[in-house]
Amino acid sequence: MTAPLALGLLLSLAALSCVQSDVVLTQSESAVVTPGGSHRLKCTVTGFNLASYSMFWIRRAPGKGLEWIVYFYSSSDNSYAPAVQGRFTASKDSSSLYLDMSSLRAEDTAVYYCARNTLCSRWPFCRSEKIRMV
């Protein structure tokens, strides 16, 4: 496969509806990556302490619905969808959430979103209320 793999990323600011009206997630710009290539997504947050919340990476492929791909609280508390397991790795520092993607495939073409868990800070305590893999 030689055609470029277009990875569309959220270009605008995404504000979450929650108690804090100044919570903002700012994501990377669009990128074009060749199949087999690698890319890093960055989601910078303001208005809350990133260390205190579990986060998600979600994507929407062209013509398809939203797909949960990563739950991340820490390097020892995370979960990946089978489609990206072993190829995608999430991490975070004090102000940003990252998604390192490798061995990219045509089916990875999508708009990627980062999202904060708004029901509770750590997913295992509210797992049944949040995203389930199907």
**Full pLDDT tens readout for the chain, 134 residues:** 333 333 333 222 233 333 344 677 777 778 888 899 999 999 988 888 888 888 999 999 999 999 999 999 988 989 999 999 999 999 999 889 999 999 999 999 999 998 888 755 554 444 433 333 43
SS3 8: coil
Task: Answer yes or no: pTM beyond 0.85.
Answer: no
Domains, the chain, in order of start with CATH, read: 5-129 (2.60.40.10)
Contact yes or no for 128/59 (Cβ under 8 A):
no
Q: What is the four-CA torsion angle of 46, 48, 49, 51, rounded to 10 degrees?
A: -90
SS3 7: strand
Token digits of residue 57: 């990476």
Residue found by looking up tokens 């990946």 in the block: 80
